[in-house]
Amino acid sequence: MKTAEIAQRYLDYFEKNGHTIVPSASLVTDDPALLFTVAGMVPFIPYLSGDVPAPYPRAADVQKCLRTLDIEEVGHTPRHGTFFQMLGNWSFGDYFKEGAIRFAWGLLTSPEEDGGLGFDPADLWVTVYEEDDEAHDLWLRLTDLPEERIQRLGKDTNYWSTGLPGPAGPCSEIFFDRGPAYGIDGGPATDDDRYVEIWNLVFMQYEITNVRSKYDFDIVGELPHKNIDTGMGLERVAFIKQGVDNMYETDQVRPVLDKAVELSGRSYGAVHEDDVRFRVVADHVRSSLMLLSDGVAPSNDGRGYILRRLMRRAIRSMRLLGVEGPTFRELFAASRDAMATAYPIVATDYARIEQYALAEEATFLRTLAAGEAILDASLLQTKDAGGTSIDGAEAFLLHDTYGFPIDLTLEIAEEAGLTVDRAAFDELMLEQRTRAKADARSRKRQLADTSVYRDFRALGETVFTGYTDLETESTVLGLLVEGHPAQSAVTGQVAEVILAETALYAESGGQVADKGVIVGPGYELEVLDVQRPVPGLVSHTVEVVSGEVGVGQPATTVVDAVNRRAAQQAHSATHLIHAALRDTLGSSATQAGSLNRAGYMRFDFTWGQALSDATKTEIEEIANNAVRDNLEVTTRVLPIDEAKALGAQALFGEKYGDVVRMVDIGGPWSRELCGGTHVGRSSEVGLVSVVGESSVGASNRRVEALVGLDAFRSLAAERAIVSQLTSSLKTPREQLPARIAELAANLKAAEKKIAALEAKEIAQQGPALADAAERLGAYRVVAADIGTASSGDDVRTLALQVRDRLGSDAGVVALAARVGERPVVIVATTEAARAAGAKAGALAKVAARALGGGGGGRDDVAQGGGADPAAVPAALTAVRSELGAA
């Protein structure tokens, strides 16, 4: 049974049983405490917690999920994957334990010809929470399971909570027995790979508080509305139904594994280490494909860092399988073909996905080449010094700063006959993980608890009137002061105000929040921010300027009209720039993010190379031509499928409901899904002046522009600068570029001439310096401060000349100079000096320490530097002392 068929059977079964079928949410979640949708319940959290009334009493879905907490387990176990799909059925105050058990058992054990999954009841085991007698008795009454195949387990396995105050409850898990070939008898309590958990039924019935850990808390009482949250792992069911040993061999994953086998020339099933690498490649390529399809782009932080890590682990695994060249073109195509039936977007959007994948692979292959060069130098230096182990801090630097995997460091070091101080490396990694976990815990504590808004949201959605009105009368529904409900707020206090209606725009879709005031009888509030803390609810952060505001009082929201108009201009200009980019570069230049505020817009888009000056000019001209043409701006609210059929552009990673707002500028020329505010006609945008274009990732570019009066002021300032230059240089405006280029060339030539004279002057010091060599023990030493130099190369040249003049003596030359504002020391040694034990690299480090910097190099010539020019005498004294002691 194919994976997609299992999913469809699941949805068909629950639809027949009165459930609303809900499409999968994006892997990118709105929850600020999470980077990704890590479980099937994440999109339903507002409904399960009661923060937002559920739009349906019962639902079912197939939810895309991504977890990297157990990333090191991928490939080693039959069921650990980073991307997975969770089949879920949900009840929001509708059916409870009996219904959940009936539905689960019915689907699992019904014959395939009747639409079920056809599991033999004799292969199934169940666990329940040890104190949940109700669930235990229901399993006995509703199914033909014998008592001995219903096991009671503790809180650590059969009790669900988020680890935060709120809903919680016992759970019941269903396991499949793979048979004695996979482990010992004894049921799920043996915690053995023989028993695979396929379905978890969570009975969300309690409210908890005083949470001391995930399994240590106080139960306040029962929830007013008990919920059902279930999750069945699609990949786990698939590998059982398909008769394979693990999820990596199922129909949606195996094609990538097979392609990796083909590209590597190695066999699957022959060597355990290779099998793990093949499975890592198959899992990580699929996960990367799905993240890219949901609009995540590789980067150095947040979600983008996780994606980059997955892609680089896949590249690393292919390299350990003996493939050093690029493979993503073939691997991603194989994953696309395997996943397209379930997720058509991976095929329709594949050009963009592949562009990111190939760019990231090329970047990392260059990183590997650079890292190998650094590692090779470290290996050589370690061997020359008689060492046997690479410093753990250096291995960590390669891993953390250059992205060079520790596995490759270990492998290359082993080939060179050296080891790596793995203990020191692991200690540094542990410190880094500890910091990251502390940051994540802090973020979770600060941002995750939205229960304070639950009662406000229960009163209904906040009505936004700002599309048509800049003032709206309303009522204060609630107040929060320092995060806690309050009845009033007085002058000087900062509070959150919840209103029934508002004309103030809450930050979203790239458009910043409105500025303005809220006024009422005897009070005035300055609006500091407007946000949507939970779906459907608007919160106004305000400072009480005067008076006292209280719950239940009348309130009028007043939008700053000048700021709103400028923000509208910027937002509409963003749409113009997007359309101009697509006109110029083609449909693959799609939106990857934006920011719009009064007078300024920033637009990120998918593109792999810098735009030429001519292209930037063309884009700017197309946008301003649209302004000139006074195009009509219209908005329509319509079903999302109809909007997409009309060609509306959607922002990748953005979540849209069944009904959307579509903004047209000039009809289909610019047609986007957008909830922001806009001008009435394109001429109202005013001037659009592109002021910047830059890279924001391997395949992302950013265009920045000033809009309206801000654009005019910027151009006026540039005009004033041009006027000053024409006057100062006595050159017509059109000849300024050539005149400035001429002056720059003359300056460069003069600098070059000065540098040559300085180099000649420095070189002339050679004979005198050699004649002044002092005797320190076995060495003739020249340690001198030569003043200033144009470059370190001039100092190096002089040091080598002086060394040559010392002939066959055991000579050491240490010359210091100031290059710009920084001190430089060059150390050179003769062959006889090296034979006597003087190493230039070691001496350069000694000098550099005195200068407050670092240094090193070969035994015959090396360089050091620092930040303190006043320490040059001390650096030279340190070299003398080192040689004298020797």
Residue 602: name the closest of 513, 688, 697 by CA.
Answer: 688
Phi first, then psi, for residue 174 (nearest 5°) are: -110, 130
**Which residue matches tokens 């003996």?**
322
Residue 803: name the closest of 824, 825, 826, 823 by CA.
Answer: 826
DSSP 378: H
| DSSP string covering 79-104 | S--SEEEEEEEEEESS--HHHHHHHH
Give the residues across from 795 on adjacent strands: none
Q: Which residues contact 646 (CB under 8 A, 6 or more apart)?
A: 662, 668, 671
Q: Which residues contact 66 (CB under 8 A, 6 or more apart)?
A: 27, 36, 37, 38, 82, 83, 84, 287, 290, 291, 306
* Whole-Å CA distances, 679 to 320, 402, 683, 685: 56, 46, 9, 7
What token pair was written down for 459?
Answer: 């009163």
User: Any known ligand binding at 674?
Assistant: yes
User: Any known ligand binding at 399?
Assistant: no
How would you list the strands of the sheet with 633-639, edge to edge?
Answer: 633-639, 659-665, 670-673
Q: Which residues contact 749 (CB under 8 A, 6 or more apart)?
A: none
| DSSP string covering 522-567 | TEEEEEEEEEEEETTEEEEEEEEEESEEETT-EEEEEE-HHHHHHH
Q: How far is 396 from 430, CA to CA, in rounded Å? A: 11
- DSSP strand pairing (83-92 vs 58-66): antiparallel
Q: Which residues contact 769 (CB under 8 A, 6 or more apart)?
A: 782, 784, 786, 798, 802, 813, 815
Please give the single-letter amino acid code of residue 856: G
Q: How far is 864 from 851, CA to CA, in rounded Å? A: 9
Q: How far is 401 from 291, CA to CA, in rounded Å? A: 24
User: Any known ligand binding at 575?
Assistant: yes
Helix, strand, or coil here: 281?
A: helix
Quickly list H helices, 50-196: 97-109, 133-142, 155-158
What token pair was written down for 863?
Answer: 């360089």
Q: Which residues contact 211 (CB under 8 A, 6 or more apart)?
A: 161, 163, 164, 165, 217
Q: How far is 734 from 751, CA to CA, in rounded Å? A: 28
Residue 846: name the closest of 866, 829, 822 by CA.
Answer: 866
> What is the distance in angstroms between the CA of the first residue and the CA of the last residue of the chain?
78
- Helix (H) / strand (E) element for 633: namely strand 633-639
Helix, strand, or coil here: 353?
A: helix
Phi first, then psi, for residue 256 (nearest 5°) are: -70, -40
Q: 112-119: which pairs have CB atoms within 8 A and are 24 or more residues apart? A: 112/1, 115/9, 115/12, 115/13, 116/9, 116/13, 117/1, 117/6, 117/9, 117/237, 117/241, 119/176
* Whole-Å CA distances, 787 to 140, 764, 872, 878, 882: 92, 14, 10, 18, 23
| DSSP string covering 292-328 | HHTT----SSHHHHHHHHHHHHHHHHHHHTT--S--H
Burial grade of 211 (CB within 10 A; 0-12, 13-18, 19 or more): middle
Contact (CB, 8 A) for 813 and 847? no
Give the residues across from 465 on adjacent strands: none
User: Any known ligand binding at 484?
Assistant: no
Q: Residues forming the annotated binding site?
A: 571, 575, 674, 678
Q: Residues forming the annotated binding site for Zn(2+)?
A: 571, 575, 674, 678
